[in-house]
């Protein structure tokens, strides 16, 4: 197993470092079942990301114009963080 370790100062830098590492060193595979059969993807065998200042804004990566971000700040602040910080569980969660 190849372990990738990424150290970044904030979430934005961590995102871009992960993208760079997976594109240069990631394992490529072809999807065999599901909605995207035949498409190729890249993935890490195992990744550890250490973020020195995780609360530094922005909490979502900044991307070039025309590139869809992986998330948006409204989702993070209004849905994800409140859910993450609560003891509520969805169906099939432990």
Comparing CA positions, the residue from 40, 36, 44 lying closest to residue 20 is: 44
Q: What is the pLDDT of residues 42-70, one digit of tens each?
A: 999 999 999 999 989 988 999 989 988 88
pLDDT digits (tens, 9 = 90+) for 11-27: 999 999 999 999 999 99
Mean predicted confidence (pLDDT) in 56-85: 89
Q: Has this prediction a pTM greater than 0.85? A: no
User: Taking residues 83-88, what's their average pLDDT?
Assistant: 84
Q: Find the distance separating the first CA and the last CA of the chain, reported in whole Å.
A: 28
d(CA 45, CA 32): 18
Joined tokens for residue 88: 């509520």
User: Tell me, what's the pLDDT at 31?
Assistant: 97
Cα-Cα-Cα-Cα dihedral of 12, 81, 23, 6, to 10°? Answer: 70
Q: Scan for tokens 């409140």, then name that residue.
A: 82
């Amino acid at each position: 197993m190849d372990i990738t370790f990424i150290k970044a100062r904030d979430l934005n830098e961590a995102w871009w470092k992960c993208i760079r590492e997976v594109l240069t060193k990631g394992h490529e595979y072809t999807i065999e079942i599901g909605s995207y059969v035949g498409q190729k993807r890249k993935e890490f065998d195992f990744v550890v990301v250490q973020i020195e200042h995780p609360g530094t804004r922005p909490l979502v990566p900044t991307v070039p114009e025309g590139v869809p971000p992986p998330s948006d700040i409204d989702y993070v602040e209004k849905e994800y963080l409140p859910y993450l910080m609560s003891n509520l569980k969805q169906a099939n969660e432990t």
